[in-house]
């Protein structure tokens, strides 16, 4: 009996935590908060992902929430690029190209009721080249860069005005009404 009560309490606690994480505060769906450093997945599209092109080339994509400024999303992509270099034991890397975009999703009505609203998320795609030696001055030291960028991300505070401007820019890019 006592174990059922404890199991139920844990289930309610975990469910509440997950619900709170999905809601993300006012506005729901985590859209009022900015993207943090972490891998994206099916449940949380905000974050980074990567695609290995060959032994020394990767593409790193970072996706934000509506309220995430482009420079923070680019910093997330650059941080992941530096982290890959460290993980792959490459001492140097350089970002060869940066592309900004917006991922727009349509709203859906469900046949049993309910709906999901249209959404928009800013994206950044960076092409990255890795090297064991610094072949030209555009290559940066991976370990130092990773430490500096991850520290900046951890300590960065985004002003409400910057969140509002990012939200407006992202929605405008998808043609959404505010």
Reported as a single tens digit per residue, the pLDDT across 121-172 is 999 999 999 999 998 999 999 999 999 999 999 999 999 999 999 999 999 8
Residue 42 has pLDDT above 70, yes or no: yes
Evaluate whether residue 79 is within a structural domain.
yes
Annotate 2-45 with three-state secondary structure. HHHHHHHHHHHHHHHHHHHHHHCCCCCCCCCCCCCCCECCCCCC
Within this chain, do residues 38 and 10 fall inside the same structural domain, yes or no?
no
- 86 Cβ neighbours under 8 A, 6+ residues apart: 142, 143, 146
Residue 55 has pLDDT above 80, yes or no: yes
Question: Between residues 110 and 159, which one has the greater pLDDT?
Answer: 159
Residue 6 has pLDDT above 90, yes or no: no
Residue 13 has pLDDT above 50, yes or no: no
Within this chain, do residues 20 and 49 fall inside the same structural domain, yes or no?
no
Within this chain, do residues 83 and 156 fall inside the same structural domain, yes or no?
yes
Using a 10 angstrom Cβ sphere, with 0-12 exposed, 13-18 middle and 19 or more buried, the burial of residue 131 is middle
Within this chain, do residues 26 and 83 fall inside the same structural domain, yes or no?
no
Within this chain, do residues 14 and 85 fall inside the same structural domain, yes or no?
no
Evaluate whether residue 178 is within a structural domain.
no
Within this chain, do residues 9 and 66 fall inside the same structural domain, yes or no?
no
Within this chain, do residues 96 and 20 fall inside the same structural domain, yes or no?
no
Q: Sign of the CA dihedral 80, 40, 103, 35?
A: negative
| 177 — pLDDT class (breaks 50, 70, 90) | low
The whole domain housing 24 covers 1-30
Within this chain, do residues 119 and 41 fall inside the same structural domain, yes or no?
yes
Mean pLDDT of the chain: 83
Evaluate whether residue 166 is within a structural domain.
yes
Within this chain, do residues 49 and 68 fall inside the same structural domain, yes or no?
yes
Within this chain, do residues 53 and 117 fall inside the same structural domain, yes or no?
yes
Q: How many structural domains comprise the chain?
A: 2
Within this chain, do residues 8 and 86 fall inside the same structural domain, yes or no?
no
Angle at 162 between CA 172 and CA 173, to 5 degrees: 15
| 80 — pLDDT class (breaks 50, 70, 90) | very high
3-class SS of residue 58: strand
| 119 — pLDDT class (breaks 50, 70, 90) | confident
pLDDT of residue 2: 46
Within this chain, do residues 97 and 15 fall inside the same structural domain, yes or no?
no
């Amino acid at each position: 009996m006592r174990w059922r009560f404890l199991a139920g309490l844990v289930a309610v606690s975990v469910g509440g935590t997950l619900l709170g994480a999905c809601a993300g505060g006012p506005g729901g769906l985590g859209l009022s908060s900015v993207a943090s450093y972490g891998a994206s997945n099916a449940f949380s599209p905000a974050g980074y992902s990567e695609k290995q092109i060959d032994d020394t080339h990767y593409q790193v994509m970072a996706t934000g929430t509506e309220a995430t400024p482009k420079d923070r999303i680019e910093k997330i992509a650059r941080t992941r690029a530096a982290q890959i270099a460290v993980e792959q034991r490459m001492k140097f890397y350089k970002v060869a190209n940066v592309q900004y975009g917006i991922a727009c999703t349509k709203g859906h009505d469900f046949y049993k009721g309910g709906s999901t609203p249209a959404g928009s998320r800013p994206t950044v795609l960076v092409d990255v080249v890795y090297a064991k030696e610094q072949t030209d001055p555009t290559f940066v030291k991976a370990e130092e860069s990773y430490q500096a960028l991850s520290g900046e991300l951890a300590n960065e505070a985004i002003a409400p005005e910057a969140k509002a401007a990012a939200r407006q820019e992202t929605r405008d890019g998808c043609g959404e009404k505010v």
